[in-house]
Amino acid sequence: MKVPFHTEKKFWGIAGISLFLLYWVVMILIYPHLPEQIPVHFNLSGEATRYSETGFASWFLLPVIVTFTGLHTLLIGWAFLTAGIESLNFPEKKRILTLSREEQKPFKKIIRGYVIKTQWITLNYVMVIFLLIAVYTWLYSTDSNSFSLGYPILGLTILYLYLITIDYFNLKRTFSKKLSKFAVGSRQ
């Protein structure tokens, strides 16, 4: 069964906002249980190379960065949606711009759907990656009792990242098909 495109956009939007809220909740819940020092930098082997005193600023700096990154992602998507199609790059741009405004409407709808879904998928990526960093930092800095909860969180987060990747490539394929149908249909 094929899920309608507008339903997928709503799903990724709700998922992105939910992940954002979950991220803040996880960071707030973990904070009181942190040891006196937490790792703030890891090498390629996953070993901590620098530590910092546990404090409000050291733990919540990352969520503040995530918040601004997420807002930036949404603002970029909004900027694409409010900009005219003249400012975007896409195949056969010159030909499409010669069409009347009425003939451009189906194309604009395709572009709008692609931009909205891409921005939500990007936000999901950002949230999942930072959630992985937070959980890994927490697991690394606490005793082994935390690992019973941490491994399932890490596993589910990696699975979700994989699903986001698959959906993004499906989005690109769907967009290309819709765009080619539009291009063929507008030539006739």
Q: Which residue has the tokens 């249980």?
A: 33
Judge whether residue 184 has pLDDT over 70.
Answer: no
Domain ranges of the chain: 26-31+56-187
Q: Kind of pairing, strands 37-42 and 48-53?
A: antiparallel
CA distance 85 to 22: 35
| 20-41 mean pLDDT | 83
Higher-scoring residue by pLDDT: 36, 86:
36
Rounded to the nearest integer, the mean pLDDT of the chain is 75
Residue 183 has a pLDDT of 61
Tokens of 167: 């959906």
Q: Which tens digit of pLDDT belongs to each residue from 93-110?
A: 787 788 888 888 888 877
The two structure tokens encoding residue 19:
């992940």
Q: Which of 103-107, 164-168, 173-177, 183-187 has the lowest mean pLDDT?
A: 183-187
DSSP state of 99: S
**Measured between alpha carbons, how far is 23 from 127 in angstroms, rounded to an integer?**
7
User: Which residue in 83, 177, 72 sits closest to 123, CA to CA?
Assistant: 72
Structure tokens at 188: 């006739």
